[in-house]
Copies of this chain bind each other. A is one copy, B any other.
Amino acid sequence: MSAQTQSHAISRYPVPALEDLPEDIRSRILAVQEKSGFVPNVFLTYARRPDEFRAFFAYHDALMEKDGGLTKAEREMIVVATSGANNCHYCVVAHGAILRIRAQNPLIADQLAINYRKADITPRQSAMLDFAMTVALDAQDITDEDFDALREQEFSDEDIWDIAAIAAFFALSNRMANFTSMRPNDEFYLMGRLPKEK
């Protein structure tokens, strides 16, 4: 198969068979499958480039799975808002699902993907997203005033790095997803929308 868009293909590029993958990558994919019940297509899309796969997910985990001044839900808010601004269908749908679950809020992802200024968030989260959007769209314009606005909301310098690094990492991720026409798994669309889901 060549790198053409195909109806409902996972990616423009061929996806390797699980049994052909290096052991560490296969293990990670099987683990996520066991936990989620399916394999998110981002894993299959990147698997054909093992070194890039390892670096991508190591970077992702370093930013998204850590503790710190931002909650995990807030980290996902940054992903969803900036991915919406970058018109990245995969990231909005997949991380929208994770955000709904982590925030236990079925509405928040759709709000943030379209216009974070209209979302049910706190002023502190609004300042966080103002800055994340600047990193995503106008990083060349960042000045000390941007830092001041975050410190007024009691973000530490480490928190500010986290906000910027998440927005910057998804600048990469959004571009790769749009380039490969990465398709979000159908499962993501409904996740976290029903009242009783954890």
Chain A residues proximal to chain B, CB less than 8 Å:
2-5, 7-8, 12-13, 49, 51-52, 54-56, 58-59, 61-63, 84, 86-89, 92-93, 96, 106-107, 110-111, 113-115, 117-120, 135-136, 139-144, 147, 157, 160-161, 164-165, 167-169, 171-176, 178-179, 181, 183, 186, 189-190, 193-194
Report the Cα distance A136→B140, complex, angstroms.
14
Report the Cα distance A172→B170, complex, angstroms.
8
Report the Cα distance A86→B172, complex, angstroms.
13
Cβ–Cβ contact A117 & B140, under 8 A: yes
Cβ contacts under 8 Å, A119 to chain B: 89
Smallest beta-carbon distance A186→chain B, Å: 6
Report the Cα distance A93→B167, complex, angstroms.
24
The answer to whether A139 and B62 touch (CB under 8 A), given A55-B55, A107-B186, A144-B5, is: no
Report the Cα distance A136→B174, complex, angstroms.
10
Residue from the set A2, A176, A193 with the largest chain B CB neighbour count within 10 Å: A176
Q: Chain copies in the assembly?
A: 6
Cβ contacts under 8 Å, A88 to chain B: 114-115, 139-140
Cβ–Cβ contact A113 & B115, under 8 A: no
Cβ contacts under 8 Å, A49 to chain B: 62, 161, 165
Q: Which residue of B lies closest to A14 (CB)?
A: B157
Smallest beta-carbon distance A174→chain B, Å: 7
Q: Which residue of B lies closest to A160 (CB)?
A: B3
Cβ–Cβ contact B174 & A139, under 8 A: yes
Smallest beta-carbon distance A90→chain B, Å: 8
Q: Which residue of B lies closest to A173 (CB)?
A: B168
Residue from the set A115, A161, A193 with the largest chain B CB neighbour count within 10 Å: A115
Cβ contacts under 8 Å, A107 to chain B: 186, 189
